Amino acid sequence: MLITKELLDKVTEQAKESPRLRMNYNLHESLDAKAQRLFNALEPGTVLPIHRHPHTDETYILLRGSFEYKFYNDNGDLVESGIIDNKKEVFGIHVPKNQWHTIDVLESGTVIFEVKDGPYTPFAPEDVLNLDK
């Protein structure tokens, strides 16, 4: 399979049409796969809750666009943030397991390549950080 502009454009169009303003294109064959590899097309305004993955690290490699990453501590305090933007020669971020994190999409057409250990597990309530306590 070739990874082309046309493929990224197709997934981006699906993200723009989605109420969530994002769309995955999975490269793994099933949600039970040991490695979850996917393109994630993200549009500004998509809401990614502050969350953590207790069983796996997660890596984002930016293919196009830009986003701001944010890391939090257990108290909900912002402890680190930065801009991922290929034009600034910052190409991605590695998120250690159990690190509270989120991203804010800064540019329409943003696409990341995302990798984490499988199998896929939806967020458990204790793995989403609610700052509105």
**What percentage of the chain has pLDDT greater than the value 70?**
99
Q: How many helices (H) and strands (E) does the chain have?
A: 1, 8
Give φ, ψ of 104 to 5 degrees: -115, 125
Reply yes or no on whether the pLDDT at 133 is more than 60: no
Give the integer Cα–Cα distance in Å for 59 and 39. Answer: 12
Cβ(129)–Cβ(77) below 8 Å? no
CATH topology of domain 5-119: Jelly Rolls (2.60.120)
pLDDT in tens, 22-32: 999 999 999 89
Q: Quick one: pLDDT band at residue 33, thresholds 50, 70, 90? A: very high
Arithmetic mean of pLDDT, 16-40: 96
* Closest of 47, 74, 52 to residue 131, by C-alpha: 74
The residues spanned by each domain of the chain are 5-119
Q: Quick one: pLDDT band at residue 131, thresholds 50, 70, 90? A: confident
* Closest of 58, 66, 95 to residue 80, by C-alpha: 95
CB-based contacts of 42, cutoff 8 Å, min separation 6: 15, 21, 22, 65, 67, 103, 105, 110, 111, 112
Per DSSP, what are the bridge partners of residue 66? 85
pLDDT in tens, 73-103: 999 999 999 999 999 999 999 999 999 999 9
Q: How many CB atoms lie within 10 A of CB 111?
A: 23
pTM over 0.75: yes
